[in-house]
Amino acid sequence: MKVATHHLRCTECGAVITGSAVNSIFRCPDCNGLYDVIYPWSPATGSSEANNHNLPNASALRWLWQERRTSTLPIDQSGVWRFRDLFPIVEDPANIVTLREGNTPLYDLPRCAKAVGLDSLLAKHQGMNPTGSFKDTGMTAALSVAADRKFEWVACASTGNTSAAMAAYAARAGLRSIVFIPEGKIAWGKLSQSMDYGALTIQLKTDFDGCVRILTDLVTRFPIYLLNSVNPYRLEGQKTPAFEILEQLEWQVPDHIVVPGGNLANSSALGKGFMEMHRLGLISRIPKISIIQAEGANPLYRWYMDSNRIMRPVTADTRATAIRIGNPASWRKAANVIDKLGGWCEQVSEQEIALAKAQIGAEGVGCEPASAVTFAGLKKLVALGKVTREERVVLILTGHTLKDSQYTIDYHRGELLTEAENAQISAEDQALHAALRKPPIVLEPDSDVVLHALESHMKLAQPV
């Protein structure tokens, strides 16, 4: 008899089912809760110390993961599947769909560190994935499960990055994909990707939350595999950056991870990764995880500040369109991560996001607006004394700067914010904006004119 490699456990009522028994909306039929994938080493399974001898060996795993870096096998070259020992979710490895995702850089941001008053600051750039966002790490996992379970159609509702990733991985696997996106409310770069990769793209005249409602209904009426982050297999791939960060820091545990919060799955995926490493003895402590939301899309922040801890969906609005989400599916998982690991939730304004994005860009790194909320939020955590100078902090940059080039162009041309928004910026931040803004200069093709412009620019230019 085949032994199941994993189970699904309802995060609300604790009911455990086999992976193949899950319904099409990935919700518990008894309590509507979301599932987590569990293994013998999952902290939640409560395996006793006596069972420890059945668990994978920490040093053997570290050695194996390092060793695979020199292999030419596609699944070894993937920075997700290299860690496959900790997410045995696919029965036939031939069904694994990989674009060699993961293996993303961990950059230092010395100028941002100085600006915020920290000794150092790190950024794990998940925008350096094949389709330009962290979604690839989850999509390779869940789409491989779809292929393994012989689905022909896959679908997601998205603010743009999930759809880009899903379309690409579905195309690689030869599956058919349907994307539901809010009309007019996603960045063009992302919309173009789902078309490029051949998805059926449906723009619904609603917001992201409305798209989720329609798709949730559809999957109960048509055999489509749902690839939104309620699908717990997505999170199994999205936990692997936690392993990579530890490898990149030579297994020295950082103090604090800062993530943007939208539908709120990524924060919980990273938390799961760190908790499983801890359970296996790969690390001796777990970093705090803080979640940052845009002020205009802040249901978790409101929950966090509410003494009764009630989640109330909001009508979302922010220029950081990736996280323009008012009714986040995974909020309870994210809330658990904050409560268990001891991080915080913060919100940041449109002005703060724009400044943080320009500061990250000026380090030669760049990211999309939704990623920049991490640095904007970190400034608040430092100001509140929640993060101290010597702590080792890692920002998770979730998307590539080219995902939303219109935002960047509007910012540098001074066309992003309204007059009213500009008027609220402090004099200190106004000066930073002025030094960071680099609008293109239009000149006649005459070298004297160009030279003159260069001279006046050099007089003005101040290092930021």
Q: How far is the CB of 155 from ligand F0G (least distance, A)?
A: 12
What is the nearest approach in angstroms of ligand F0G to the Cβ of residue 105?
17
3-state secondary structure 111-168: HHHHHHCCCCCEEEEHHHCCCCECHHHHHHHHHHHHHHCCCCEEEEECCCHHHHHHHH
294 vs 352: CA distance, rounded Å = 9
One residue of 42, 131, 162, 327 binding ligand F0G per CB under 6 A: 162
DSSP structural state of residue 36: E
Strand partners, 154: 177, 225
The nearer residue to ligand F0G, 68 or 190, going by C-beta atoms, is 190
Residues with Cβ within 8 Å of 273's Cβ and at least 6 positions away in sequence, in order, are 239, 240, 241, 242, 243
- We find the least distance from the C-beta atom of residue 38 to ligand F0G, in angstroms, to be 20
Among 102, 237, 260, 299, binds ligand F0G (CB under 6 A): 260
Select 28 or 265, whichever has its Cβ closest to ligand F0G.
Answer: 265
| Selected range binding ligand F0G among 51-59, 156-164, 195-203, 448-456, rule: CB under 6 A | 156-164
Show the binding pattern over residues 228-247: x = contacts ligand F0G (CB under 6 A), - = does not.
Answer: -x------------------
The stretch near ligand F0G (CB under 6 A) out of 4-12, 33-41, 153-161, 214-222 is 153-161
Among 53-61, 152-160, 250-258, 456-464, the segment contacting ligand F0G (CB under 6 A)? 152-160
Of the residues 143, 264, 335, 338, which one makes contact with ligand F0G according to CB under 6 A:
264
Is 27 strand, coil or helix? strand
Contacts 24+ apart (CB under 8 A), 117-120: 117/382, 117/389, 118/382, 118/387, 118/389, 118/390, 118/391, 118/393, 119/389, 119/390, 120/392
Instruction: Return the residue matching tokens 């989640």.
Output: 311
Q: How far apart (Å, rounded) are the C-alpha atoms in residues 229 and 262?
A: 11
CB closer to ligand F0G, 129 vs 359: 129
H helix or E strand, kind and range, residue 78: none
Token pair for residue 49? 């110390």
Q: Does 322 bind ligand F0G (CB under 6 A)?
A: yes
Q: What's the CA gap between 329 and 331, in Å, rounded?
A: 6
Bridge-based pairing state of the strands 106-108 and 7-10: unpaired
Does 161 interact with ligand F0G (rule: CB under 6 A)? yes
- Smallest gap, in angstroms, from Cβ of residue 268 to ligand F0G? 8
Q: In the complex, what is the shortest distance from the CB of residue 109 to ligand F0G, in angstroms, rounded to a whole number?
A: 18
53, 254 Cβ separation under 8 angstroms: no
Q: Which of residues 44-73 bind ligand F0G (CB under 6 A)?
A: none
Q: Does 209 bind ligand F0G (CB under 6 A)?
A: no
By CB under 6 A, the count of residues binding ligand F0G is 22
Nearest to ligand F0G of 75, 376 (CB atom): 376
CB atoms within 10 A of CB 66: 11
In the set 262, 287, 361, 377, which binds ligand F0G (CB under 6 A)? Answer: 262
- By beta-carbon proximity to ligand F0G, the closer residue of 256 and 333 is 333
Find the part of the chain contacting ligand F0G (CB under 6 A) among 8-16, 145-153, 259-267, 305-313: 259-267
Pairwise CA distance, residues 411 & 293, whole Å: 20
d(C-alpha 121, C-alpha 107), whole Å: 8
- Work out which of 140, 159, 231, 408 binds ligand F0G, going by CB under 6 A: 159
Sign of CA dihedral 215, 221, 227, 230: positive
Q: Which residue is nearest to ligand F0G (CB)?
A: 262
Q: Binding to ligand F0G by residue 129, rule CB under 6 A?
A: no
In the complex, least distance from residue 370 CB atom to ligand F0G, rounded to whole angstroms:
4
Region from 81-89, 276-284, 366-374, 436-444 binding ligand F0G, contact rule CB under 6 A: 366-374
- Which stretch, 95-103, 110-118, 347-355, 364-372, contacts ligand F0G (CB under 6 A)? 364-372
Count of C-beta atoms within a 10 Å radius of residue 434: 12
DSSP type of residue 84: G
Dist CA 464 CA 456 (whole Å): 18
Residue whose CB is less far from ligand F0G, 280 or 355: 355
Q: From 139-147, 260-268, 411-419, 436-444, give the range in contact with ligand F0G by CB under 6 A.
A: 260-268
Report the residue number, 121 or 211, with the smaller CB distance to ligand F0G: 211
Give me the residues that bind ligand F0G (CB under 6 A), please.
Answer: 133, 135, 158-162, 229, 260-266, 322-323, 368, 370-371, 398-399
